[in-house]
Amino acid sequence: MSDSAPNYATQLPLNLPSRTVRIWRERIIATILFLAAFSSVATTLAIVYILFSESVIFFELVAEDHAGTVWAALVEFLTTTEWSPLIEPKTFGVLPLLTGTLVTCLVGLTVAIPLGTVMAIYLSDFASPRLRESLKPVLELLAGIPTVVYGYFALLLVSPTLQKLILAVQMFFWPGREEFEYFQLPGFNMLSAGIAIGIMIIPYISSLAEDSMRAVPVYLREGSYAMGATRLQTAIGVVLPAAFSGIVAAYILAISRAVGETMIVAVAAGLQPIFTLNPLEGAATTTAFIVSVSLGDLPHGSLEYQSIFAAGIMLFLLTLIFNILGYFLSRRFREIY
């Protein structure tokens, strides 16, 4: 009777691949997926390689042009205050671009940090859940607006409004002068670009800071309320310190955004690299300089062309530092509870 036992393998209507095929198919898929994930590392390596190798060419060209040695070119790049790569005699002191970046960034943060923080506290500890759920997406729209539209906004709405406002303030306090004797805000200025940047980065701060404040456990708040503290005292005395590293991580992300912002400053802050810390003047930032050179259709390999990579590597290192700082801070805040 044993030979009448049914052979299931032939009876079942299955066409299963053999075990080896199955294992190999799985391995191939895993490899492909790994390569996709690894592409991010490759991207970073490519960024570093391109920026570094092209910058080396830049410093060699500067050395050839007037600086003598690559070392002298590097010193000139980092310490002198005149940036004129397009006009003879060419000079390559990057500090004007840095101050331009710094000033617009600072103006932006002066707008965004107080507003964003107050909003975050209000939304997390005061607003009703309904209000919070409907306001958050609306605020996040601010970050979704294309930056070139913000540039338009800064140049054609913020800047003229500020011009009128500054003139009106002067006429109020020092009346009776001829109009040209008053200080006139130039059409391109870092103040209006900075304000637009600030408005753009508000949601980064309000949203992320709110998230980290919501993550503070309710019992901490309840403990504080039980001691007779008001909501405001609880928010400032208990929730804010508990969520501190998350909030700082949000600030750092916002700083990194503001430093790297390009189109707003390219449109509204002007393209003249001036070494100044006065936000009422126009100046070029690192990013705006890269845009202005890219628009100029310069030949590949020329000194001016290479200079955008030197500016780029500086920007990259600057944001890299902020990003790493932010990463570790946000990791810390996750580990607290």
Partner 1 sequence: MTTAPVEITQDLTAIHRSIDQRRLQEKIFILLGLLSILFALLALTALVLDLFFRGLPILNWRFITSPPSSTPEEAGVLIAWVGTLLVMVVTALFAIPMGVAAGIYLEEYAPKNWFSNFIEINISNLAGVPSIIYGLLALGFFVYTLNLGQSVATAGLTLGLLILPIVIVTTRESLRAISSTIREAAYAVGASKWQMIADHVLPYSMGGILTGIIVGISRAIGETAPLITIGALTFITFLPDSPLKSEFPFISFAWLQSPFTVLPIQMFNWVSRPQEAFQVNAAAAGIILLVLTLGVNGLAIYLRYRFRKGIKW
Within 251-270, the residues that bind partner 1 by CB under 8 A are 253, 256-257, 259-263, 266-267
179, 96 contact by CB (below 8 A): no
14 belongs to the binding site for partner 1 (CB under 8 A): no
Taking the C-alpha atoms of residue 120 and residue 126, their distance in angstroms, rounded to an integer, is 10
CB of 252 to partner 1, least distance (A): 9
Please report how many Cα atoms fall inside a 13 Å half-sphere around the Cα of residue 5, on the Cβ side.
Answer: 4
Nearer to partner 1, 51 or 73 (CB): 51
319 belongs to the binding site for partner 1 (CB under 8 A): yes
Residue from 155, 190, 193, 201 in contact with partner 1 (CB under 8 A) = 155
**Number of CB atoms found within 10 A of residue 186's CB:** 14
Query: Which span sits near partner 1 by CB under 8 A: 3-11, 29-37, 76-84, 274-282?
Result: 29-37
Residue from 56, 135, 167, 215 in contact with partner 1 (CB under 8 A) = 135
Query: Which span sits near partner 1 by CB under 8 A: 92-100, 122-130, 166-174, 175-183?
Result: 122-130
**Number of CB atoms found within 10 A of residue 34's CB:** 10
Q: According to CB under 8 A, which residues from 198 to 237 bind partner 1?
A: 199, 202, 206, 230-233
121 belongs to the binding site for partner 1 (CB under 8 A): yes
Residue from 146, 175, 176, 299 in contact with partner 1 (CB under 8 A) = 146
CB of 263 to partner 1, least distance (A): 5
Query: Which span sits near partner 1 by CB under 8 A: 3-11, 137-145, 169-177, 276-284?
Result: 137-145
Residue from 12, 87, 138, 226 in contact with partner 1 (CB under 8 A) = 138
CB of 319 to partner 1, least distance (A): 6
Binding track, positions 81-100, relative to partner 1; x by CB under 8 A:
--------------------
322 belongs to the binding site for partner 1 (CB under 8 A): yes
The values of phi and psi at residue 227, to 5°, are: -80, 0
CB of 218 to partner 1, least distance (A): 19
CB of 50 to partner 1, least distance (A): 4
